[in-house]
Structure 1
């Protein structure tokens, strides 16, 4: 649940969580531009597998071996992104994969820098907050975070928004560290590329689970599933 900022949590929690997240982030340097195909092996293949998994093209074991399953996921990625579906991770495929899991994206006409760890963190939040909600509602939760970045009333990075004391209950109860559902990554990418079913909302809540006066006082925009999104 999204709440109003309330400085009640210790900074040490933020530091520990940030270090844990950084430890699981991906390496941009590991994935080059050379062609990868059936039979390829090594850290570049492992990085390819990680990035595909981030986007919901689940590989299974990240073993650094370009086998049949990796080839199949590459073909699917290529087909869904308008690339030649030959199962070979060539220059165009790798460039598109890097773009979707890379360093920056434009949201609402403004360039927002983000890292792979930011994507992972936002997907974890979406999953913890809305894994049982409609897919549109998952995109809306991600959009709330991005809308806060655009607002002068909130911090201007994904981690700072999510870790703002008292902002999101999964940070407080630890559920943000559960493994995200695959749809959460897809929802994050749609939100990053401008889809906002919440129409600029800065807050959301489940009316059956909160009696917080502040959140109930916010102007309501739309209800998606069990969540009400508001300004």
Structure 2
């Protein structure tokens, strides 16, 4: 939503009611505020503050799940790099435009999803095991919250990779890797 769109709609509504108070009764009956009239002044993607907060919380949760499942045993810089890959994809026209849609792209296809945890058939909720898992879950959530906030503000974490769109573990050699230039190797992950 463009800045001020809601305020413009409020001013417009106020002007209509002010105008209506000085018109004759017959003209007042003809002056009806309709949804069609308002649609020209309120953006199609308008969301209430509560809706925006729910959307942001969902996006952070999806990002935290990906960081946790893909990189919880990696150095912190590797966890930031995984978050960066996801956020880079959100910005790319080649991928969906929300964090959750990027993380769970093709999750309905066994072994064909973008991030292996999303289609492995196991629970995606983290931190339910031992103390290390809970600590890793909390850390993943903190990284996700900070990374998403910075993303919304047009910033990136200093450890994040600004161009990486793909990664894999060093234990595999996927056929697609040769099509991309390696930009970093962090812990057990190679980033492209």
The TM-score with structure 2 as length reference comes to: 0.57
1:168 aligns with 2:124: no
Picking from 213, 218, 221, the partner of 2:180 is 218
8 A contact 2:63–2:99 mirrored in 1: yes
Supply the distance in 2 between the matched residues of 1:224 and 1:123 (Cα, whole angstroms). 19
Between the aligned partners of 1:212 and 1:128, the Cα distance in structure 2 is 19
Moved more, 216-225 or 140-149: 216-225
What are the Cα deviations for residues 112-153 of structure 1, in whole angstroms up to 9, with x where unaligned? x94212211210110001010011111111111110011111
Contact 1:140 1:197 in 2 (8 A): yes
Structure 2 distance, partners of 1:218, 1:136, is: 21
- Unaligned 5+ segments in structure 1 are 1-101, 105-112
Tell me how far apart the structure 1 counterparts of residues 65 and 144 of structure 2 sit (CA, whole Å).
10
Q: Please give the alpha-carbon distance, in whole angstroms, between the structure 1 residues aligned to 2:160 and 2:67.
A: 14
Bigger Cα Rg: 2
Shift of 1:175: 5.2
CA distance in 1, matches of 2:56, 2:147: 15
Write the mapping of 1:119-198 to structure 2, written as runs, cut at 5 A.
119-165=60-106, 166-173=113-120, 174=122, 176-179=124-127, 181-192=137-148, 193=150, 194-195=156-157, 197-198=160-161
Show the 5 A alignment for 1:37-76. none
Matched, 1:205 2:175: no
| CA distance in structure 2 between the partners assigned to 1:154 and 1:201 by the alignment | 13
Q: What's 2:58 paired with?
A: 117
Q: Are the equivalent residues in 2 in contact too, given 1:139–1:190 (CA < 8 A)?
A: no
Where does structure 2 lack aligned partners over 5 or more consecutive residues? 1-50, 107-112, 128-135, 151-155
**RMSD of equivalent CA atoms:** 2.3
Deviation at 1:171, TM superposition (A): 0.4
Which residue number in structure 2 is paired with residue 98 of structure 1? none
Indicate conservation of the 8 Å contact 1:140/1:191, yes or no. Answer: no
Q: Match for residue 21 of structure 2?
A: none
Alignment: residue pair count: 121
State the distance in 2 between where 1:183 and 1:140 align.
14
